Structure formats: structure tokens, C-alpha cells
Amino acid sequence: MFLKLAFRNIWRNKGRTSITIASIMFAVLFSSFMNAFQKGGWVRMLDNVVNFYYGYAQIHKNGYWEEKSINKAFELTDEFEVIKNGMDTLIKEISETDHTENCKLHINFEDDNILFYTDYFLEILNYIQGKCQKNKIDFSFTTENGMDYLLLTNELLDKFKDFNLIQLNLSMASMDNNQLRKEKRSGNLKKLESILEYSKILNIPSVTYFICGLEDDTPVKTVQTLKYLHSQNTSIGISLYYPVPGLSAWQSKKLFINQEPSLCRGSSAYPWNKSLSTQELITAFRLARTSNYIKASNYDKSQIDKLEGELFKDSTMGNKMVNIFFNFPVDTKTN
């Protein structure tokens, strides 16, 4: 009886009922879409942070956060018990977490000297991967600060591929051999090209980093480095120079006391060495991003010409550097 009355009452005014039903359907669909959009954005944001920055977890020696000092580093031992214990605890916690999909563990190693201890590093990777496989956890890794490409070999890249290296970060520092000698570094472009070519064969994307704003840098040298890396199978990572207390040129505290602390960040683009101006540093940074954008977008000649015109109109850009980047051939002479 009541159901019959309710049904008649609902359809007594068909227009009103149709509008109500449509409104409810739209609200439910819109709510579902927004909820999925929000969760998708959140998951993507987490993936980006994990894959390209800090990883899911960081392992530090006790007391590091209270006093961030190199003296708080782990001591290298054959057993690496500290790291093993930390990873055992982390993997156990991940395994006990409720989840509907395969768990993922991405570790981003931040030590740029990690290849000086290759066997030790491989032992750590092998241990972590073995533990993850036993617990049905997908393991991957990256090296945040860049590997020294001079210490890499094809055989080592094969091993890193087996351990699921998802991006190869390389440290080049500079193309200028004189500058490298001042920084007590060395370089070999042929070796770099060989490593980049093999990483392409292995289908491992790469980013090659160089330092912009070193003591002997010039706008022309900087753009030549950008053009060289643009011609290679790699994205460009650019690190704007900033001083680190304790280096030979920055021993005096007076150099820092009268400066804003924020200027010691690379993102401040402050011309510490006076070799490049702030505008030139910013121009170099944006040209590096431009190179990566052109490669990712597969731009043709007309699109590149249009992009060049837009950069020329930008008052924050150094037109001389823009002109060299787009219109002059690459020069790999390194003094």
C-alpha cells in the first residue's frame, strides 16, 4: 500500500522527479570523479617525490638530525649490520601494512662517492632486493647526487639494471679541462658518450649534471656545455654554484657573516665567483629546461624557432646566450 502511494506520488510530477534524479546522478558522478582525481593526484605526487627525490625512507645514524655532520656518517664494515637492521625493520613494516596492490620500495642513495665502494654498494643492493623479493615488494633505486661516469662500466650498468635502476644520474661537473683540474676532477667526453649510449640500449633514462658558475666560467663556455649535452641522449641537470664553507676558496667566515643565508642556496642564482651574472645563471638554468622540454616534446624546426623567438622577447633572459644556443654549432673543445 505505502509503496504504491509512494510510487504514484513520485511520478505525479514527472518533470520534478526527472530533475531530482538527474541532479542526484550528476552529484554522485561528479563526487566520484573528484574523489578519483584527488586520489590520483596524491598518488602521482608521492610517486614523483619518491622516484626523483628522497625515496620512501632515509636511514641515518643516531644523532644525525640533532647535529647534521659528516662525522655522523655510518662506518663502512663488511657486515653493514646497521643498514641491514634498518632495512629489515622497514621491509617488515611494509609487509605488515594492509594493501590491495603490490608494495613498492624505492631507495634514493644520496652519496655521490658511492662508486668508490662498488662491491659494498652491490652487496647492499643485493641484500635489499633479496629481502624485497621474499616479501613480494617491488624494489627500485636511484642515486640522487649523480654517479661519477668515469667509474662506470657496461658490466656495472647491467648489474644496476638487474637491481631496477630507474634513472641514471651522472655527474660531469664541467667540460673545461682547466676548470676540472682546479676542482681536482677529471673528465672524458668519449667515456661519457659511451655510458649514455649504453644506458639508452638498456632503456634507462639519464640525467647528466654540470655545475654552472664556476670560477672560470663564461657565458660562451656555459652555452657550449648546454649545447653539447643537448646533442646527447640525456636530459640536462644544472647545478648553480653556491659556496660550501670549508672549501679552499671559502675558508674565511667573514665571507658569509655579512651575507643573507638564503644566498647560499643554488636557487638564489647569486654570482659568488663573479664569472656569470645572476641573469646569465638564470638564462643557463632556463636553457637547460628548454633543452629537456624540446627533447620530451619532439619539437620540429618550426616549433623550435617559435620557442627561440619567445625566449628572445623575455627580458629576464640573456639574448647572447639564447642566440648561441639556438644558432651556433656545438663545440666540444675542452682546453
Domain boundaries, the chain: 146-327
Cβ count near 46 (within 10 Å): 11
Cα atoms found within 13 Å of the Cα of residue 61, Cβ hemisphere only: 13
**Is the separation of the CB atoms in 95 and 137 below 8 Å?**
yes
Cβ count near 65 (within 10 Å): 10
| Helix-helix angle 278-297:301-313, to 10 degrees | 160
- Could you read off the pLDDT of 50-76 as tens digits, one per residue? 655 555 566 666 676 666 665 566 555
Nearest to 123 by CA among 158, 66, 86, 80: 80
pLDDT confidence bin for 206, thresholds 50/70/90: very high
pLDDT at 302: 84
Tell me how far apart the terminal alpha carbons of the chain are, to the nearest angstrom.
97
Most confident of 232-236, 241-245, 327-331: 232-236
209: which strand partners?
171, 237
pLDDT confidence bin for 201, thresholds 50/70/90: very high
Burial 149-165 (b: 16+ CB within 10 A, else e): bbebeeebbeebbebbb
Q: Which residues contact 131 (CB under 8 A, 6 or more apart)?
A: 87, 88, 91, 137
Q: Which CATH class is domain 146-327?
A: alpha beta
**pLDDT averaged over the chain?**
81
pLDDT at 259: 77
Nearest to 331 by CA among 188, 233, 227: 227
Distances (CA, A) of 210 to 40, 171, 217, 253, 330: 34, 6, 12, 27, 16
Q: Which residues contact 235 (CB under 8 A, 6 or more apart)?
A: 205, 206, 207, 208, 291, 292, 295
Strand ranges, E, within the chain: 103-109, 137-143, 147-148, 168-173, 206-212, 235-240
Nearest to 314 by CA among 279, 281, 289, 288: 279
Lowest-pLDDT range, 132-146, 174-188, 241-255?
Answer: 241-255
Q: Is the pLDDT of residue 79 over 60?
A: no
Whole-prediction pTM value? 0.70
**Is the separation of the CB atoms in 125 and 168 below 8 Å?**
no
Distances (CA, A) of 256 to 215, 249, 302: 18, 12, 47
Task: Indicate the DSSP class of residue 206.
Answer: E
Lowest-pLDDT range, 158-167, 200-209, 242-251, 315-324?
Answer: 242-251
Q: Is the pLDDT of residue 122 over 60?
A: yes
Measured CA to CA, the distance from residue 241 to residue 211 in angstroms comes to 6
pLDDT at 54: 57
Task: Indicate the DSSP class of residue 117.
Answer: G
